[in-house]
Structure 1
Amino acid sequence: MANAFGLRVYNPARGVVSDGGFVAYSGKPVTTGEFSAPVAYGNRFASDDTVRAMRFAGRYYVAVTLDSGAAKHFPQGADLTLRVDVRGTPQAGPGYAGPAGDFDVTPGDGDGTGRTARTNGTLMLVAYAGIGTGVVLPAGLGAWTVVARRGAAATIAQGPGEAPSAPRDRLPAPSSPVDQQPTQ
């Protein structure tokens, strides 16, 4: 399989830091590795995208991907060994005028236990609105497409130049001078 196993690293803003792509699987164990620049506030000014992505303090994420076609090779699942090597010493970041919110780093973040994610009301509202729009918009567009196609099919069935037929009880009364008789 040409694209069996992949590895990506994401920053705290959920932006891709590095994307090593996929490695092929040929029946033998595979390995892949990703390396990144050190996390530093000054990286925001870097010209290289992979360095600029390493500008946020906080937790970085590793995503391991296995192609769905690999299931035939691993019906019971597959063992995975993930090794993460963090190098360097923590350095103080810039002083902020107020709380850094989701990018705030506490002393407990360095020991692997970390804090649990907080629920931010505004972010939850945005998330629900995005999901709702993602559900309602395609449904509305689908209904609009069905109605438009039915209208087009009705026009084609009537033939060129013919007006749509209306029910007999809704036809306008004749108004030609021949049909009107003067009264005496």
Structure 2
Amino acid sequence: MLQFFFDFYENFYDYLISDDWARVILILKIISWVTSIFFMFLIVVLLKRSDTTWSLRERKYARQIAKGAQHWEKKWQKITDRLDRGDEASLKLAVIEAGGIFFQVLQFVAPGESTEERLEKADKQRLVSYERIFEAQRLRDFIIHNPKTGLTHQQAQEAIGSFEQGLKELEYL
């Protein structure tokens, strides 16, 4: 019985030092490299699709907000000051700046290529005033693309109110 184990060990050792074993190892190495590359690619694709970096971006932005809360309050105060002035140029600038602040926040909350895509990705339960914000965004874009168009105080107040409501719903103001 002991001789059987010695013979088995000798045959196994001879196989391990033979060229056949080297070929087997080479094939196993190639297969392991290919599967490793495939799984790395799969991980990257799945991470992009699931947008796991959202929480990291959200935390980073929350830190920025916490550090610069006075900065955002000052910016929003400038917007309300412009709204209170009442002249058409100030109203237009107030709407554009309010939309700018909202869309900066929206970039972190709902990633996407365009503003419309970000608004659609934003959770409708979290962003109840979606329709109002979308209308305010349309008005903002119209002002930007048609600077000679007229703007009433009421329109500006509604648009800025929509952006403010959206920021409050997203808990950034």
TM-score, with normalisation over the residues of structure 1? 0.23
Q: Say which structure is richer in strand.
A: 1
TM-score, with normalisation over the residues of structure 2? 0.24
Q: Which has the larger radius of gyration?
A: 1
Q: Say which structure is richer in helix.
A: 2
Higher RCO (CA 8 Å, separation ≥ 6 residues)? 2
